[in-house]
Each structure stands twice: as structure tokens, then as C-alpha cells.
């Protein structure tokens, strides 16, 4: 077993690390304070190929696999967790959806625009009465000639007000069983009847808004169907298997960013006549933080590698997401504690990481849902 990254992935990691240090981290606190979408940073990321991580080269992409994408999301999250979730949703959930399930003409139409960053992709599964119980969604898609007509309401749509394309899950056969009721569609922002009436104000990840998206008699060409009619729930889950690896990587990046700040502060901060890093109370915190971060990263890399190898990875993805997100909440909490009162102030970045980490144990499946998925897989002897 070899834990070193191949040269091309190490180069990718170094390139993104430099980009983040130069163009992302310096603006992250202002973006958060102003709840401003990081549009310039996203454009710059696109020029580096970071919007086409799941897009084949023939469509202008920069395909690096799930492991490569995990490296990108970790690096970006260490500077800006908000930009990281935007990249994860766009690449893994949306580009991945079109590249895997779109018809060839749809791929040719959308993938170059997604890869270049001309349009940003959003993933719209959740509804007011269908959160953890995703299969309970009620958005309807009725076939009408060579179109589908969509009606419904999606909430908690990441960067929902900046997207040019939405992956929308809607019921096409209300009588069918869960795995056949729902279909997935790629819907353009400018489709008549699609509106974004509301943006939420939230605890963290303020630079990555979440929005409500409504669909009122939205006519969508049947060519926008992903996979076959009735495939939607399986597609949503299979995409989330990848998405959860991405959120795991984001969580590792958040934890690493907070750890680096805490270690630096512990070395500099003097109390009782010496740096607080000299005290075992602080040393043990740092030891626990670093150990959990390394363990989380290994789980993320394992899940990503299984996905890249085409092996079953639902169990590994949920384990990675569960452990990494809980690591991020633990590490950011400890990082605030090491900073003492200063950690509670806006001018010290750890409070932002602390707030941002909180989302990772909720979105793309709460910790409770990850435990449910893990337990079901363990008890049915499946992966
Ligand atoms: N891949 C492919 N198919 C899958 C699958 C997977 N990983 N998991 C389940 N399926 C299939 C099953 O095989 C089953 O098919 P059959 O009936 O043909 O056997 C079907 O889907 C139904 O599966 P379940 O019986 O397991 O479905 P369920 O209703 O009991 O629950 C759940 C499934 C795991 C609880 C699921 O609803 C879930 O993951 N909930 C959490 C939702 C979630 O993560 N939302 C995130 C929103 S997106 C977001 O946050 C993005 C963002 O913007 C940041």
C-alpha cells in the first residue's frame, strides 16, 4: 500500500494551494462578513480548470477523478470553506450528473459551459417536507408531448441564486415504488416559470448562499431528462455518494485551516511567562486535532479511490463524510478554545471556521443519516 500521491495529483495539490494562498484566503473574511458570493475567486478557479474536474477533456474539462477533486476541495476549504462547497456541488453533483447520465447532445451542449465556468451548476433535491427523507419529495413533472412540465418548490439550494443550471428531482410516477417514482432533469436558469424568490441568512458559509427555487409550469424539453424516466432517486443517491466524499474533503480542509491557526497561535501566545504551546493541556489538544484530521483524510482518500476504481463505495463515502465532518466540528471547537477569548472575536479567523464547520454535519445527509446508511450497509453485508 502506497500513501504517496502520484506526481500529477501532487502538482495539482501544490498549484491549488498556491492559488488559494494568493487569491482566496486573503478575501475570505470579507466575503463572509459581507455575505458576498466569491465570483472573482470562482472565475479564477475556472481558469485553473477547477470547474471541470468531472468533465472529460473532449468537452474542455480537466478530469482528475474523485481523489483529485478531494485534494482540490480540501485545499480550497483550508482558505475558504464557502468556495469549497460551491466547487464540490458544481463539479461532483452537477457536472458529474450531466457527464454520467446526460444524453450525448446534452453533454455536448452543457459540459463545455460548465467546465469553463460560464455557468455554475446547482443541485435541487431538498423540499420543505423532504429533507432527510429525500424520497418524500413532491415536485411534479408531467409529460406533455416532447416536454415535461415541472411544478414545485426546492429549498436549501447551494448557490441557488448564482446558478445557470439546476439538477431538479421531480416525481414522474406517483404510484411507483420509491426507486421508480422520481426522475432527474437538467433545467436552465432562464426557463420561464423558474424563480429564486428567497435567499437564507445563515450561521456560517455566508459567502455561499442557499436559496429557494420555485418551479411554476416550467416547460423542460424531454432531452433534459437524465438517465431514464424513474431513475431519479438512484441518480440522486449515487451522486450523493460522490458528494459526500467531497464534503468529507471540505471538512478536512476546514479542520486543517483551523488547526494551522491554532498551532500558530499556541506558539505565539504568551501566558505565565511562556508560550501556551509549552503547556500539556494545549499540546494534547493539538495532538488529538492532528490525529483526527489525518484519520479523516485517509477515510476520504479511501472512499475517493474506491469510487475512482469503480468499486462499491456507499459505505466508505458515508464513513468518510461522518468522521470528517465530526472532526471538523471537534477541531474548530478546540481551535477556538486554544485562542481563548480572542477565538470568539470576528477578527480572528477561527470563529469563521467554527461556524462553517457546523454545516458539514448537516448537508448532503446529516450525521444521523450517515449512521443510518452505514448501519444498513453493515447489516446487509453490502458496500
Ligand atoms: N446508490 C444507488 N441507489 C441507491 C443508493 C445509492 N447509494 N441508496 C439507495 N439506493 C436505491 C435503493 O437501492 C432502493 O432501490 P430499490 O427500491 O430498487 O431497491 C432505493 O434507492 C430506495 O432506497 P432506500 O430504501 O434506502 O431509501 P430510503 O427512503 O429508506 O432512504 C436515505 C434513503 C439514505 C435516507 C436517503 O433518503 C438519504 O440519503 N437522505 C438524505 C438526503 C440528503 O443527503 N440530502 C442532501 C441534500 S443535497 C445537499 O445538501 C447539497 C448541497 O447543496 C450542499
User: How remote is the CA of residue 375 from the centroid of ligand 1, in Å?
Assistant: 14
Indicate whether 256 and 344 sit together in one domain. yes
C-alpha cell at 200: 437564507
Q: Point out the residues that are catalytic.
A: 364
Q: How far apart are CA 101 and CA 123, in angstroms?
A: 14
Look up the CATH number of the domain holding residue 221: 2.40.110.10
Indicate whether 195 and 288 sit together in one domain. no
C-alpha cell at 148: 415535461
Residue 220 φ/ψ, nearest 5 degrees: -120, 125
Which pLDDT score, from 0 to 100, does residue 381 have? 84
Q: For ligand 1, atom 34, which residue shows the shortest CA distance?
A: 373
Partners of 165 in the β-ladder? 121, 188
Indicate whether 299 and 370 sit together in one domain. yes
What is the β-pairing status of strands 270-271 and 140-144?
unpaired
Indicate whether 223 and 254 sit together in one domain. no
Q: Which of 207, 229, 251 is the last residue of a domain?
A: 229
Q: Which atom of ligand 1 is nearest to the CA of 314?
A: 7
Candidate of 210, 365, 375 to mutate for ligand 1, largest count of ligand atoms within 8 Å of Cβ: 365
Structural domain includes residue 157: yes
Look up the CATH number of the domain holding residue 59: 1.10.540.10
C-alpha cell at 70: 478531494
User: How remote is the CA of residue 134 from the centroid of ligand 1, in Å?
Assistant: 7
Cβ-contact 166, 124 below 8 angstroms? yes
Candidate of 134, 204, 242, 243 to mutate for ligand 1, largest count of ligand atoms within 8 Å of Cβ: 134
Structural domain includes residue 101: yes
Indicate whether 222 and 304 sit together in one domain. no
Indicate whether 165 and 100 sit together in one domain. no
Indicate whether 185 and 280 sit together in one domain. no
Q: Which of 206, 229, 252 is the last residue of a domain?
A: 229
Q: How far apart are CA 197 and CA 325, in angstroms?
A: 30
Q: How far apart are CA 141 and CA 279, in angstroms?
A: 62
Indicate whether 114 and 142 sit together in one domain. no
237 Cβ closer than 6 Å to some ligand 1 atom? yes
Structural domain includes residue 1: no
Which pLDDT score, from 0 to 100, does residue 1 have? 77
Q: Which of 63, 94, 120 is the last residue of a domain?
A: 120
User: How remote is the CA of residue 236 from the centroid of ligand 1, in Å?
Assistant: 7
Structural domain includes residue 39: yes
Which pLDDT score, from 0 to 100, does residue 240 have? 98
Indicate whether 257 and 350 sit together in one domain. yes
Structural domain includes residue 166: yes
Indicate whether 114 and 129 sit together in one domain. no
Structural domain includes residue 73: yes
Structural domain includes residue 2: no
Which pLDDT score, from 0 to 100, does residue 179 have? 85
Structural domain includes residue 294: yes
User: How remote is the CA of residue 44 from the centroid of ligand 1, in Å?
Assistant: 34
Q: Which atom of ligand 1 is nearest to the CA of 240?
A: 44
Indicate whether 316 and 209 sit together in one domain. no
Query: Can you give the residue range of the structural domain that contains 367?
Result: 233-379
Look up the CATH number of the domain holding residue 314: 1.20.140.10
Indicate whether 269 and 374 sit together in one domain. yes
Residue 225 φ/ψ, nearest 5 degrees: -70, 135
Q: How far apart are CA 109 and CA 98, in angstroms?
A: 10
Candidate of 237, 319, 320, 376 to mutate for ligand 1, largest count of ligand atoms within 8 Å of Cβ: 237
Total tally of structural domains belonging to the chain:
3
The pLDDT profile of the chain, 383 residues, written as one tens digit per residue, is 788 999 999 999 999 999 999 999 999 999 999 999 999 999 999 999 999 999 999 999 999 999 999 999 999 999 999 999 999 999 999 999 999 999 999 999 999 999 999 999 999 999 999 999 999 999 999 999 999 999 999 999 999 999 999 999 999 999 999 889 999 999 999 999 999 999 999 999 999 989 999 999 999 999 999 999 999 999 999 999 999 999 999 999 999 999 999 999 999 999 999 999 999 999 999 999 999 999 999 999 999 999 999 999 999 999 999 999 999 999 999 999 999 999 999 999 999 999 999 999 999 999 999 999 999 999 998 88
44 Cβ closer than 6 Å to some ligand 1 atom? no
233 Cβ closer than 6 Å to some ligand 1 atom? yes
User: How remote is the CA of residue 109 from the centroid of ligand 1, in Å?
Assistant: 29
| Dmax (CA) of the chain | 79
Q: Is 138 left (phi over 0), alpha (psi -120 to 50) or beta?
A: alpha
Amino acid at each position: 500500500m502506497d500513501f504517496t500521491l502520484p506526481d500529477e495529483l501532487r502538482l495539482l495539490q501544490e498549484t491549488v494551494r498556491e492559488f488559494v494562498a494568493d487569491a482566496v484566503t486573503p478575501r475570505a473574511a470579507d466575503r463572509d462578513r459581507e455575505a458576498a458570493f466569491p465570483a472573482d475567486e470562482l472565475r479564477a478557479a475556472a481558469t485553473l480548470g477547477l470547474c471541470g474536474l468531472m468533465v472529460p477533456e473532449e468537452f474542455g474539462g480537466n478530469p482528475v477523478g474523485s481523489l483529485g477533486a478531494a485534494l482540490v476541495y480540501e485545499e480550497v476549504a483550508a482558505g475558504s470553506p464557502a468556495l469549497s462547497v460551491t466547487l464540490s456541488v458544481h463539479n461532483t453533483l452537477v457536472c458529474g450528473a450531466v457527464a454520467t447520465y446526460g444524453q450525448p447532445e446534452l453533454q455536448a451542449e452543457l459540459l463545455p459551459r460548465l467546465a469553463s465556468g460560464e455557468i455554475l451548476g446547482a443541485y435541487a433535491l431538498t423540499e420543505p417536507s423532504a429533507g432527510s427523507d429525500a424520497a418524500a419529495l413532491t415536485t411534479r413533472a408531467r409529460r406533455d408531448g416532447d416536454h415535461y412540465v415541472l411544478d414545485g418548490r426546492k429549498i436549501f439550494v447551494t448557490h441557488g441564486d448564482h446558478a445557470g443550471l439546476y439538477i431538479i428531482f421531480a416525481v414522474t410516477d406517483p404510484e411507483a415504488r420509491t426507486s421508480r417514482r422520481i426522475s432527474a432533469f437538467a433545467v436552465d436558469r432562464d426557463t420561464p416559470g423558474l424563480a429564486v424568490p428567497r435567499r437564507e441568512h445563515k450561521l456560517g458559509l455566508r459567502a455561499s448562499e442557499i436559496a429557494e427555487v420555485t418551479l411554476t409550469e416550467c416547460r423542460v424539453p424531454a432531452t433534459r431528462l437524465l438517465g431514464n424516466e424513474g431513475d431519479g432517486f438512484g441518480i440522486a443517491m449515487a451522486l450523493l455518494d460522490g458528494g459526500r466524499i467531497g464534503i468529507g474533503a471540505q471538512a478536512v480542509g476546514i479542520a486543517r485551516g483551523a488547526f494551522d491557526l491554532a498551532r500558530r497561535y499556541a506558539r505565539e501566545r504568551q501566558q505565565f511567562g511562556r508560550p501556551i504551546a509549552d503547556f500539556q493541556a494545549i499540546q494534547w489538544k493539538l495532538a488529538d486535532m492532528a490525529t483526527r484530521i489525518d484519520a479523516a483524510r485517509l477515510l476520504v482518500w479511501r472512499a475517493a479511490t474506491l469510487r475512482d476504481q469503480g468499486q462499491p463505495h456507499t459505505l466508505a463515502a458515508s464513513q468518510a463524510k461522518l468522521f470528517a465532518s465530526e472532526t471538523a466540528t471537534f477541531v474548530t471547537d478546540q481551535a477556538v478554545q486554544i485562542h481563548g477569548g480572542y477565538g470568539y472575536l470576528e477578527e480572528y479567523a477561527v470563529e469563521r471556521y467554527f461556524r462553517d464547520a457546523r454545516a458539514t454535519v448537516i448537508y448532503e445527509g446529516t450525521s444521523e443519516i450517515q449512521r443510518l446508511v452505514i448501519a444498513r450497509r453493515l447489516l446487509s453485508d453490502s458496500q
